Chains A and B, each alone.
Chain A
Amino acid sequence: MKKINFGLAVMMACAVSVPALAQDKAVAGEVAEGSLKGKTLTFVSYGGIYQDGQVAALQDFVQKSGVTLLNDGPTETAKLQAQVESGNVSWDVVDTADLPPYVHCGTLFQKLDFSKLDISKIPEGQVGECSVPAMNYGVVLMYKNDTYKDNPPTSWKDFFDTEKFPGVRAIDGSGDPVGGLIEQGFIAAGGDAKAMTADDIEKGIEKIRALGPDTIYWKTGAESQQLAESGEADMIMMWTGRAMTAVKNGAQYTPVWQDWLVVMDQLTIPVGAKDPDASYALINAYLGKEAQEILTEKTSYTPINLDSKPKVDDATAAFLTNTPERIKQGFQQNIPFWVKNFDLASEKWSALLSGN
Chain B
Amino acid sequence: MSALPQTDNQTAGGRPARRLNLRDAGWLAAPAVLLLAAVLVYPLAIIVLRSFSEPEPGLQNYIWFFGSPVNRAVLQRTFVLSGWVTLASLICAYPYAYAMTVVGKNLRLILILCVLVPFWLSGVVRTLAWVILLQDSGVINSILRGLGLSPVKLIRTQLGVVIGMTQVLLPFMILPIYSVMKGIDTRLLQAARSLGAKPWRAFLQIYVPLSLPGVYAGAIIVFILSLGFYITPALLGGPRSTMLSSLVQNQVLSLLNWGRGGAMGVVLLVATFILLAIAAPLMRQKHTQTRREK
Residues on A lying within 8 angstroms of B by beta carbon are 76-78, 81, 104, 173, 175-176, 213, 215-217, 219-220, 223, 226, 230-232, 342-343, 346, 350-356
Contact = CB atoms under 8 A, between A and B. Distances in A.
Nearest to B234: A219
B235 interface: yes
A104 B131 CA distance: 36
Contacts of B239: 173, 215, 217, 352-355
Contacts of B258: 78
B70 A356 contact: yes
A96 to B, nearest CB: 12
Contacts of B253: 76-78, 175
Contacts of A78: 252-253, 256, 258
B137 interface: yes
A354 B70 contact: yes
Contact of A350 (B138, B241, B247): B247
Contacts of B246: 353-354
A306 B226 CA distance: 51
B151 to A, nearest CB: 12
B69 interface: yes
B252 A355 contact: no
A80 to B, nearest CB: 9
Chain B contact-residue range equals 20 to 34
A217 B246 CA distance: 13
Given A226-B131, A231-B137, A355 B238 contact: yes
Given A350-B247, A354-B74, A81 B235 contact: no
Contacts of A343: 255
Contacts of B135: 230, 232
B100 to A, nearest CB: 36
Interface in B230-253: 234-235, 238-242, 246-247, 250, 252-253
A355 B240 contact: yes
Nearest to B254: A176
Contact of B70 (A213, A215, A350): A350
Given A354-B74, A354-B247, A346 B255 contact: yes
B79 to A, nearest CB: 15
A341 B186 CA distance: 67
A77 B234 contact: no
A232 B255 CA distance: 32
B242 A216 contact: no
Nearest to A175: B254
A88 B194 CA distance: 74
A292 to B, nearest CB: 29
A49 B156 CA distance: 28
Given A231-B137, A232-B136, A355 B242 contact: yes
Q: For chain B, what secondary structure do more than half of its interface residues adopt (helix, strand, loop), or is it mixed?
A: helix
B73 interface: yes
Most buried by B among A175, A226, A353, A354: A354
Given A77-B253, A81-B256, A356 B131 contact: no
A217 B240 CA distance: 11
Contacts of A230: 135, 137-138
Interface of B: 69-70, 73-74, 131, 135-138, 156, 234-235, 238-242, 246-247, 250, 252-256, 258
Contacts of A354: 70, 73-74, 239, 242, 246-247
A104 B256 CA distance: 10
B30 to A, nearest CB: 29
Contacts of A219: 234-235
A226 B135 CA distance: 10
A352 B241 CA distance: 12
Nearest to A209: B239
A216 B250 contact: no
Contacts of B250: 175, 346, 350
Most buried by A among B238, B239, B246: B239
A353 B255 contact: no
A353 B187 CA distance: 55
Contacts of A342: 255
A223 B234 CA distance: 11
Nearest to A351: B70
A77 B257 CA distance: 11
Nearest to A176: B254
Contacts of B234: 219
A70 to B, nearest CB: 23
Given A77-B256, A232-B135, A350-B250, A216 B238 contact: yes
Given A216-B156, A226-B131, A346 B254 contact: yes
A217 B242 CA distance: 11
6 contacts: A223-B235, A230-B135, A346-B254, A351-B70, A355-B241, A356-B74
Contacts of A215: 239
B137 to A, nearest CB: 5
A353 B74 CA distance: 11
Contacts of A213: 238, 240
A213 B247 CA distance: 20
Contacts of A232: 135-137
A77 B254 contact: yes
Most buried by A among B136, B235, B256: B256
